Amino acid sequence: MPHAPGRITRTPVAPAWHTIVFLALMLGASVFSAVAGHIPAIVALREIRALRYGVGFVGEWLYLAFIWYGIRLRGVTLAELIGGRWSTVGDVLRDAGRAIAFLIVSWIILAVGRIILGATTMNQSMVQLIPRTPGEVLLFVGVAVTAGVCEEIMCRGYVMRQFHAWTGSATVALIAQGVIFGGAHGYQGPSQMVLLSIFGCLFGWLAQRQQSLRPGIIAHVLQDVAFGVIGFLLVGRNIRRA
């Protein structure tokens, strides 16, 4: 039987070297993205949103492919990391309901976090990501779905399972993957990284409680798609017209 994400297991899902390389790649890319914001040539390239979306899309799937390679070395499947598949439409609807309820509670918690940290709802790096045209919206939705699937498997599946196996503590694993998730978003700045770490911990709690990544994947996709679509309607179109 597949092991659910929230169940303690002493068996790592991949070799230690593989996890070290994965974390080095992910956090290294985060540092580069933060530094790149001060390099004029790269800042100019970021304004080409189709290119930026394409890089993000390819990068996420390459990360996931690397994880797939690592877990295969231990005989683990992606289905095991996710916590099984949907069997009926009712299963999908239940997970969707859980995802929506989770997002509502999470938004409230994050709103309080923003007040405490004095963080803005949307900083300049986030504004740059917002689509400006209907075509860019379609591309963004593709990237949002990709991020929802890949990042939940990477952080709440792979990383959390690894730290759970290494430490034997569900709490340590939950916090570790949340901090890593926030740390992987260096381009958004310190305040947003802290908020994303909290968000990552909330996603980790959901995965452990449901013993499945499925509700979290739905919630993550809805969160990112909403950011792009609502951002386009409220901000992106106006920036383009200006």
For 161-183, the pLDDT digits (tens) are: 999 999 999 999 999 999 999 99
Q: What is the pLDDT of residues 13-66, one digit of tens each?
A: 999 999 999 999 999 999 988 887 677 777 677 778 899 999 999 999 999 999
The pTM of the whole model exceeds 0.75: yes
How crowded is the C-beta side of 33, counted as CA atoms within 13 Å? 22
Report how far residue 116's alpha carbon sits from residue 20's, in angstroms, rounded to the nearest whole number.
33
Measure CA of the first residue to CA of the last residue in the chain; give whole Å: 57
Residue 8, pLDDT score: 43
Among 97, 121, 90, 89, smallest CA distance to 107 is for 121
DSSP structure string for 24-75 = HHHHHHHHHHHHHTT-HHHHHHHT-HHHHHHHHHHHHHHHHHHHHHHHHTTT
Nearest to 166 by CA among 3, 19, 1: 19
- pLDDT for 177: 97
Do 165 and 13 meet the contact criterion of CB atoms below 8 Å apart? yes
**Chain segment 112-159, per-residue pLDDT in tens:** 999 998 887 777 778 888 999 999 999 999 999 999 999 999 999 999
pLDDT tier for residue 7 given thresholds of 50, 70 and 90:
very low
Average pLDDT over residues 183-212: 94
Give phi and psi for 142, each to the nearest 5. -60, -40
Helix (H), strand (E) counts: the chain: 12, 0
Tell whether the model's pLDDT for residue 5 goes beyond 80: no
User: What does the pLDDT read at residue 2?
Assistant: 42
| Amino acid letter, residue 211 | Q
* Strand, helix or coil for residue 123: coil
